[in-house]
Structure 1
Amino acid sequence: MKARPEIVTVIKRLLCFTRNPLIRWSDRLEAALMIGAVLLALLAIPFAAAVGSGAYAEGKGRAAEQAANRQETTAVLLADAPPVHVRLDGVPLDEKAEAVARWTVPGGLIREGVVTVDAGTATGNEVRIWLDASGRPVEAPVTDDDALSQGIGVGTGLWLGWVTLVATVFLACRAALGRSRAAEWAREWRRVAQDRPAA
């Protein structure tokens, strides 16, 4: 009973790195392209991680800046927000709407303006809003979790985009090699047909 070949031998056979005369040059080229594609995908991981880390650091800095310049307060609605829309299956949509509200800024000054609230919120309800340094309504500050999600998303998206590009180029080259092999087979069959003696 033959012993199982070593893993290196198996890899060599899979990648066509043997002296088998039946292996064509195109098979070896395709194997080399496959190795190159895998290496390019792996080498891109540190670069994608670095870009993702940069995006995370930028988002974290923005979160710290916004947290320092924005403050949360309570506003009272002066008008009903537009009603909640319902899907065809009867499930209400979780959406935002704008409504007029009144709030107090630091220093005791009362202001009125349009704020973003949940759709369907009735007049007189209290809602939490964020104000900038001048007392105007703004979006909630970015959190560290948002910055982390942004960093992961940027890094992962960059790497997946690179892998998609590399895979597309590899598949295009593989298709071209396939057409070349098919044409080579056709030439060989024509040569065989010409060399065969007539009956």
Structure 2
Amino acid sequence: MPAASVSHRHSYSRIPLARQLWRAVGHDRNPLCRPVDRARSRLLLTVTVAMLLCVAFSTLLALTRLDGMVAQAHRTAQHRHQVTATTLAAAGSDSLTSAATSAKAAWDYPPTDHRTGVVPVLAGTAPGVRISLWVDDSGKPAAPPQADRRLETTAGMYGLGVFAVTGAAVWTGRAVRRRVLDRRAACGWEHDWQQVEPLWSGRSRRPENGEH
């Protein structure tokens, strides 16, 4: 690639964004502006709009997912009940290697039903300790309702994942198109240089003397 082409590409990257966008919509009347320069500016405008659309799209999907998870969490919460259980035995033997383990406990739910089972407890829990326990409508231990903050975090991570995928696709397309435009610009410079170099160097004005 000629040095002039490399220099022009670097100088193009230093053109202010506003001017490039102005050029992209066809309002730059600079006589030195080539079609490939306008194509580069249109590419910049397209990528800018596409990235903004990626942000809007990923945000919309994240909010939609959040609404769905919140609705599901509220429906689940209607079938979760917090009761007080009493441990019947010490925590399991794995309590020395983990902060959480399990132990046998007893609780009442519905209030007329006495139940026992193995429930999660902190390591080192002794018999006779009262703990909070979440159960379902049948009285079996169940996962607690999900907190809204956790749902927001999950939806936010989902939105970031969507943005990462769509943004990467846009940036890949931009890189491919930019390479095509760079090659077109290089060919243009080579052609122009072949036309200008004899005049610039004075070779076209030299008498025929067998020199090349």
Q: Give TM-score, length-normalised by structure 2.
A: 0.66
Choose from 112, 123, 137 the match for 1:133. Answer: 137
Choose from 86, 89, 98 the match for 1:78. Answer: 89
Choose from 109, 117, 122 the match for 2:114. Answer: 109
Higher radius of gyration, 1 or 2: 2
Instruction: Write out per-residue CA displacement over residues 99-138 of structure 1, whole angstroms, 9 at most, x where no aligned residue.
Output: 132121312412112x3334x3333244322111222222
Where in structure 2 are the equivalents of 1:9-20 lying within 5 Å?
11-12=18-19, 16=23, 17-20=27-30
Partner of residue 154, structure 1? 158
Partner of residue 123, structure 1? 126
Percent of paired sites with the same residue: 23
Opposite residue 55 of structure 1, the aligned amino acid is R
Higher helix share: 2
Partner of residue 148, structure 2? 144
> Unaligned regions of 5+ residues in structure 1, if any?
1-8, 86-94
> CA, structure 1 residues 14+57, in 2 after alignment: closer, same or farther (shift >3 Å)?
closer
Partner of residue 91, structure 1? none
CA contact (8 A) 1:101 1:112 kept: yes
Report the RMSD for the aligned CA atoms in angstroms. 3.3
Q: Supply the distance in 1 between the matched residues of 2:182 and 2:164 (Cα, whole angstroms).
A: 26
Bigger Cα displacement from structure 2, 120-129 vs 28-37: 120-129
The structure showing larger relative contact order (alpha-carbon pairs under 8 Å, at least 6 residues apart) is 1
> Unaligned regions of 5+ residues in structure 2, if any?
1-15, 205-210
Choose from 47, 57, 64 the match for 1:37. Answer: 47
Runs of 4+ in 1 over 6 A off after TM superposition: 190-195
The question of 1:21 aligning with 2:25 is answered no
CA contact (8 A) 1:99 1:117 kept: yes
Q: Supply the distance in 1 between the matched residues of 2:84 and 2:17 (Cα, whole angstroms).
A: 69
Q: Supply the distance in 2 between the matched residues of 1:192 and 1:77 (Cα, whole angstroms).
A: 96
- Report the number of matched residues: 180
